[in-house]
Amino acid sequence: MGDKTINIIYGKEKRTLVNKIKKICFNNNGTIFGGLVRDEIIASYYREEFINKKLDFSNYWNKKYDIDTIGRLIIPNDIDVYFKNHNNINTFINDIKSYIQIFNGFVRIQHMNNSSNLRKFNYSLNLQLNHTKLYIIIHLGRTISYSGICLKIEVDIISIVNNTLTNIEPPFYNLDFLCNLFIMEKNNGIINIRPSNCTGTPLDNMNSVSKYKNSSKILEDIIKFKTQFHGNNLSHSFDSEYINCYRIIKMIDRDFSWNITNIPFSHITIDEDNDNTCCICLQNIYKEQSLISININEKVNNILHKKCFIQYLKMEQQNKYRNNDNYIEIRCPFRNPFNFKECFKKINFI
């Protein structure tokens, strides 16, 4: 038998796995929320643009091909699912395990406690949540002599302890970014993406027309990787800014970086080189670089390299500096508090 070469396209395999997990979730009456729904909106839009332009599908997964529709390749690293009925959770997990074992993969299950929930799932002080995390690992192209390419997906499974609230749904009145207010569910055999009725924003109480107008505007922003930060409902918590900063870093430090328009710093471009230097690395700033402007004190030279700023912001978050009232503060390089918890006041609903 002659040698045979198998071409593995990592993104294609990952997208197929995500789609399978979605299907298993819906078969067990689950609801998907968070980043997967947002990424699905983006990927579907740019896939349609790719098709409408009649481009070459053999180059679909080529990251350098047609940059204008590059959003077609966005795939989440984690999936958030919610089950109203606890009985569906075990079936969902078993179905996932059965599917993964076909490919000699494995699923590690971790039952999270409240302290480990802090960063991501502090939705409401009035809700006691069950949180189970699945770590799914498959080695693509594994052979006797080759260990394969590791494909990882994390699944966060959320349910409510002693749930008697029939109308509750993600994000449980604690939305972080406007781009995450949509949920995905399957009704009568049709997969539907719609705004959640439990965002904790004015959208929940708007009439149908106003909600449609705002949702349409948010969708238009999503396909431009643009959003606004709403924060969490733990503004009275000593650690709220730690959580807020974690969420913001996660949105800007990624391949598909987001422009968050109501926080105290923003992505900028400059038209020409000047004598400005980055206050972190002290190197010159050039027009072709990715830059950040800090919008707190206009009197200060506030343009920084994006890479330097993100590195600084990560360190500042981990430092957990506390003010005189024992609240964590996230401070800019000029030592002014960012006050992320106040950003929701700048959101413009129409």
pLDDT tens digits for 274-297? 888 899 999 999 988 999 999 887
- As given in the structure block, the two tokens for residue 90 are 């075990």
Question: pTM higher than 0.75, yes or no?
Answer: yes
Average pLDDT, the chain: 90
User: What local confidence, expressed as pLDDT, does residue 300 receive?
Assistant: 67
Kindly report which listed range (81-90, 150-159, 222-231, 295-304) carries the lowest average pLDDT score. Answer: 295-304
SS3 labels along the chain? CCCCCCCCCHHHHHHHHHHHHHHHHHHCCCEEECHHHHHHHHHHHHHHHHHHCCCCHHHCCCCCCCHHHHHHHCCCCEEEEECCCCHHHHHHHHHHHHHHHCCCCEEEEEECCCCCCCCCCCCCCCCCEEEEEEEEEEEECCCCCCCCEEEEEEEEEEEECCCCCCCCCCCCCCCCEHHHCEEEEEECCEEEEEECCCCCCHHHHCCHHHHHHHHHHHHHHHCCCEECECCCCCCCCCCHHHHHHHHHHHHHCCCCCCEECCCCEEEECCCCCCCCECCCCCCECCCCCCEEEECCCCCCCCEEEHHHHHHHHHHHHHHCCECCCCCECCECCCCCECCHHHHHHHCCCC
Separation between Cα atoms, residue 296 and residue 286, nearest integer Å: 22
Separation between Cα atoms, residue 177 and residue 199, nearest integer Å: 10
pLDDT category at 301 given cuts 50, 70, 90 is low
pLDDT, tens only, 180-215: 999 999 998 899 999 999 999 999 999 999 999 999
Give the residue extent of every domain in the chain. 10-227, 240-346
104 Cβ contact list (under 8 Å, min separation 6): 138, 139, 142
* CB atoms near residue 171 (< 10 Å): 27
pLDDT, tens only, 68-83: 999 999 999 999 999 9
pLDDT, tens only, 207-257: 999 999 999 999 999 999 999 999 865 556 888 999 999 999 999 999 999
User: What local confidence, expressed as pLDDT, does residue 2 receive?
Assistant: 65
8 Å CB contact between 210 and 202: no
- As given in the structure block, the two tokens for residue 216 are 């349409």
Over residues 129-137, the mean pLDDT reads: 93
pLDDT category at 147 given cuts 50, 70, 90 is confident
pLDDT category at 116 given cuts 50, 70, 90 is very low
CA atoms within 13 A on the CB side of 170: 30
Q: Which residue has the tokens 């503060």?
A: 329
pLDDT category at 272 given cuts 50, 70, 90 is confident
Distances (CA, A) of 72 to 44, 47, 49, 55, 258: 7, 5, 9, 13, 16
Query: Does residue 144 carry a pLDDT above 90?
Result: no
Separation between Cα atoms, residue 160 and residue 31, nearest integer Å: 13
Query: Does residue 154 carry a pLDDT above 80?
Result: yes
User: What local confidence, expressed as pLDDT, does residue 7 receive?
Assistant: 85
User: What local confidence, expressed as pLDDT, does residue 6 receive?
Assistant: 78
Separation between Cα atoms, residue 177 and residue 39, nearest integer Å: 13
Higher pLDDT, 144 or 34: 34
Q: Which residues of 200-222 are buried (b: 16+ CB within 10 A; e: fewer)?
A: bbebeebeeeebeebbeebbebb
8 Å CB contact between 233 and 124: yes
User: What local confidence, expressed as pLDDT, does residue 125 receive?
Assistant: 46
Please state the length of the chain. Answer: 350
Query: Does residue 325 carry a pLDDT above 50?
Result: yes
* CB atoms near residue 89 (< 10 Å): 18
